[in-house]
Amino acid sequence: MPAEEVQERGREAMSEPTLEAARALLRRHHGHEDFRLQQAGAIEALLAGRDALVLMPTGGGKSVCYQIPALLRPGTGVVVSPLIALMQDQVSALAQIGIRAAFLNSTQSAAERRATEQALREGALDLVYLAPERLLMPETLALLESIPVALFAIDEAHCVSQWGHDFRPEYRQLSVLHARFPRVPRIALTATADPRTRREIVEALALQDAVCLVSSFDRPNIRYHISEGQNARERLWDFIEQAHPQDAGIVYCLSRRKVEETARWLSERGRVALPYHAGLDDATRAAHQARFLAEDGVIIVATIAFGMGIDKPDVRFVAHLSLPKSIEAYYQETGRAGRDGEPADAWMAYGLQDVITLRQMMQEGTAEEQQQRIQQQKLEAMLGLCELSTCRRQALLAWFGETLDAPCGNCDNCLQPPQTWDATEVARKALSAVYRTGQRYGTGHVIKVLRGLRDDRIERLGHDRLSVFGIGDALDEGEWRGVFRQLIARGLLAVDAGGYGVLRLTEASRPLLRGETTLELRKRASSGRRQKRRAAAVEALAPADQALFEALRALRLRLAREQGVPPYVIFSDATLRAMAEHRPADEAALLEISGVGQQKLERYGQAFLDEINAHGVKLA
């Protein structure tokens, strides 16, 4: 970094840094015009010396929240992260934008660690990344006490939660930071939303006085698409061919065997497709992951073992060849697409066989009965989302307690409304049966009553004498289950939290019962309907700009290879797309492009300008 800049930063830090100064750094280093989501709020809190809790979806831009205050406050920012494998990439990416960062972890030699410690003592680092177990070592804490610390950033903060999927006991001990560094502001960050996890973070990390910043969990750039039916693999190929012929993506399958088969199948069709599952040895898995990160356009075919901690912003599609176990899992897995904010697809094809397999896996699992029932209900909710004929995003967000006022216009159901049938009468029968049996039973029992089937319980309860007994024998069990899932997915029936699946009517079901509204349900898909769509990221470009976009990508890949860094560390897809579109003619114009900061301009500006020039600068 140039000496003037160090001085300038020092001055900024001494004269009470402001959001204005922060914005100037965002422009200079990151090349972004302004803050988004809760970034400004988080930065203001830290600059004022307060703690912050930031909940932002994946790709929201959490790292800016601590990077910039670490530059503005005196001392080094300490980032606690469990993802040791990512630290090298994070540090290289920061070096690219002129931020001085290093890490301390167990993968380093003693000499490398000593060098970082020395740099810390000399005040030569803006940021240092540490795994929690390293931070908690007495000598590390002593070192940090001997230097000025700008802030502590606790990344992946949901790891303190015993309820979450990713509990790490060391995270519990991070409360020591509050005790030993009472004057250093702390910021905890996570993309895990639910209220229970949030409460646990606040308690375990003593963040009671923290400014709490929650962003919407909507991922508007992700286009959801779900279909049921035969030939899932052929349809996957159509989708990849048409929408993502050159893009990186992840394909999730339920079993290792299906992973292997699908990877081979895609490879035979000419794509670089690599398997990833727990049955492969560590070296192979690591090699496949490394290629996915380092090369353009690699497809990873994986069981759910893949994904946690994968920090690749330009994954353009996530495809499911089987049904996720729950809406949470679906949201998390699809959330790995489009972290850079550019258009991305979440595509899924499932068959009813998946549902049967999943149900069996749950029944054969070791979970207790109560837990099994909860798993079954989560699966039913997921199916409810699949069978929806209305906006997917509205339903998805509603599941997380958020309301989206209008249909999104960027899901399959919004774009190509599915064929439906008038289910008003059927739904009224279902609701009546729930009501007449006393709102005390689950779907299985109510369906038996509707279909007029007798068993011991029905006879004992006298439910075979109810007026609703046998009024629904026109539908079979599977069809009825579909109807109930839809009623639940649309909030016309509620499931009690007790785990027994007890159904109740809701406020929303009254108008339907009284005959004041109608209900349309999705028709079962006819198999194999093809969907034509071009790659969204390229689609947005005029044909003449697409060639330039591809040329810029090739240039980026070459530069990345030379330095041994992943391509997105050089420039994001969004930045390349903006270059192809606006065709800046000189450095000043290039700097206007989002993602081009001062340092990247100096390093790569000429190369990219030359490439643009070769394709012809745009005439006004």
397 is a site residue for Zn ion (CB under 5 A): no
Helix (H) or strand (E) segment spanning residue 189: strand 186-190
38 is a site residue for ligand ADP (CB under 6 A): no
Give the residue, chosen from 35, 103, 331, 469, that forms a contact with ligand ADP under the rule CB under 6 A: 35
CB of 32 to ligand ADP, least distance (A): 4
For residues 4-33, which are near ligand ADP according to CB under 6 A?
30, 32
> What distance in Å separates the CA atoms of residue 248 and residue 32, rounded to the nearest whole number?
24
193 is a site residue for Zn ion (CB under 5 A): no
| Stretch of residues binding ligand ADP (CB under 6 A), selected from 55-63, 236-244, 274-282, 316-324 | 55-63
Q: Identify which of residues 215 and 390 has a Cβ nearer to ligand ADP in the complex.
A: 215
339 is a site residue for ligand ADP (CB under 6 A): yes
Helix (H) or strand (E) segment spanning residue 222: strand 222-228
227 is a site residue for ligand ADP (CB under 6 A): no
The option from Zn ion, ligand ADP, none interacting with 393 (CB < 5 to 8 A, set by class) reads Zn ion
Contact 513, 504 (CB under 8 A): no
59 is a site residue for ligand ADP (CB under 6 A): yes
* AA letter at 81: S
Contact 150, 77 (CB under 8 A): yes
Give the residue, chosen from 17, 41, 60, 82, that forms a contact with ligand ADP under the rule CB under 6 A: 60
Structure tokens at 589: 């114009």
Give the residue, chosen from 80, 382, 385, 414, that forms a contact with Zn ion under the rule CB under 5 A: 414
Give the residue, chosen from 102, 177, 280, 408, that forms a contact with Zn ion under the rule CB under 5 A: 408
Number of chain residues interacting with ligand ADP (CB under 6 A): 19
- The full length of the chain comes to 620
349 is a site residue for Zn ion (CB under 5 A): no
Give the residue, chosen from 93, 210, 391, 493, that forms a contact with Zn ion under the rule CB under 5 A: 391
No. of helices (H) and no. of strands (E), the chain: 29, 17
> What distance in Å separates the CA atoms of residue 310 and residue 58, rounded to the nearest whole number?
11
| Beta carbons within 10 angstroms of residue 49's beta carbon | 11
> What distance in Å separates the CA atoms of residue 583 and residue 67, rounded to the nearest whole number?
30
| Stretch of residues binding Zn ion (CB under 5 A), selected from 237-245, 365-373, 399-407, 467-475 | 399-407
The option from ligand ADP, Zn ion, none interacting with 185 (CB < 5 to 8 A, set by class) reads none
489 is a site residue for Zn ion (CB under 5 A): no
The option from ligand ADP, Zn ion, none interacting with 56 (CB < 5 to 8 A, set by class) reads ligand ADP
CB of 223 to ligand ADP, least distance (A): 18
Alpha-carbon radius of gyration of the chain: 27
Distant-in-sequence, close-in-space partners of 46: CB < 8 Å, separation ≥ 6: 52, 65, 66, 69, 73, 151, 185, 187
| Stretch of residues binding ligand ADP (CB under 6 A), selected from 62-70, 114-122, 246-254, 417-425 | 62-70
* AA letter at 561: R
Give the residue, chosen from 38, 63, 332, 432, that forms a contact with ligand ADP under the rule CB under 6 A: 63
* β-pair partners for 151: 77
What is 544-568 written as a DSSP string? HHHHHHHHHHHHHHHHHHHHTS-GG
Q: What is the largest CA-CA distance in the chain?
A: 88
CA-wise closest residue to 56 among 191, 197, 198, 160: 191
Contact 76, 70 (CB under 8 A): yes
The option from Zn ion, ligand ADP, none interacting with 414 (CB < 5 to 8 A, set by class) reads Zn ion
Helix (H) or strand (E) segment spanning residue 284: helix 282-294
Helix (H) or strand (E) segment spanning residue 266: helix 256-268
The option from Zn ion, ligand ADP, none interacting with 70 (CB < 5 to 8 A, set by class) reads none
Structure tokens at 582: 């606006």
| Stretch of residues binding Zn ion (CB under 5 A), selected from 163-171, 354-362, 392-400, 433-441 | 392-400
256 is a site residue for ligand ADP (CB under 6 A): no
* AA letter at 269: R
**3-class DSSP state for residue 149?**
strand
| Beta carbons within 10 angstroms of residue 187's beta carbon | 30
> What distance in Å separates the CA atoms of residue 374 and residue 351, rounded to the nearest whole number?
22
Q: CB pairs under 8 A, 24+ apart, for 121-126?
A: 121/146, 121/147, 123/75, 123/76, 123/147, 123/148, 124/100, 125/76, 125/100, 125/101, 126/67, 126/70, 126/71, 126/76, 126/77, 126/94, 126/99, 126/100, 126/101
CB of 486 to Zn ion, least distance (A): 16
> What distance in Å separates the CA atoms of residue 395 and residue 388, rounded to the nearest whole number?
9
Q: Identify which of residues 69 and 501 has a Cβ nearer to ligand ADP in the complex.
A: 69
Give the residue, chosen from 9, 29, 62, 429, that forms a contact with ligand ADP under the rule CB under 6 A: 62
CB of 573 to ligand ADP, least distance (A): 9
| Stretch of residues binding Zn ion (CB under 5 A), selected from 51-59, 73-81, 124-132, 407-415 | 407-415
The option from ligand ADP, Zn ion, none interacting with 32 (CB < 5 to 8 A, set by class) reads ligand ADP
Give the residue, chosen from 28, 62, 235, 393, that forms a contact with Zn ion under the rule CB under 5 A: 393
For residues 591-610, which are near ligand ADP according to CB under 6 A?
594
For residues 67-126, which are near ligand ADP according to CB under 6 A?
none
| Stretch of residues binding ligand ADP (CB under 6 A), selected from 286-294, 335-343, 486-494, 509-517 | 335-343
> What distance in Å separates the CA atoms of residue 250 and residue 273, rounded to the nearest whole number?
9
CB of 613 to ligand ADP, least distance (A): 26
The option from ligand ADP, Zn ion, none interacting with 411 (CB < 5 to 8 A, set by class) reads Zn ion
Give the residue, chosen from 43, 52, 56, 125, that forms a contact with ligand ADP under the rule CB under 6 A: 56
Q: Identify which of residues 338 and 472 has a Cβ nearer to ligand ADP in the complex.
A: 338
219 is a site residue for ligand ADP (CB under 6 A): no
Q: Which residues bind ligand ADP (CB under 6 A)?
A: 30, 32, 35-36, 39, 56, 58-64, 313, 339-341, 572, 594
Q: Which residues bind Zn ion (CB under 5 A)?
A: 391, 393, 407-408, 411, 414
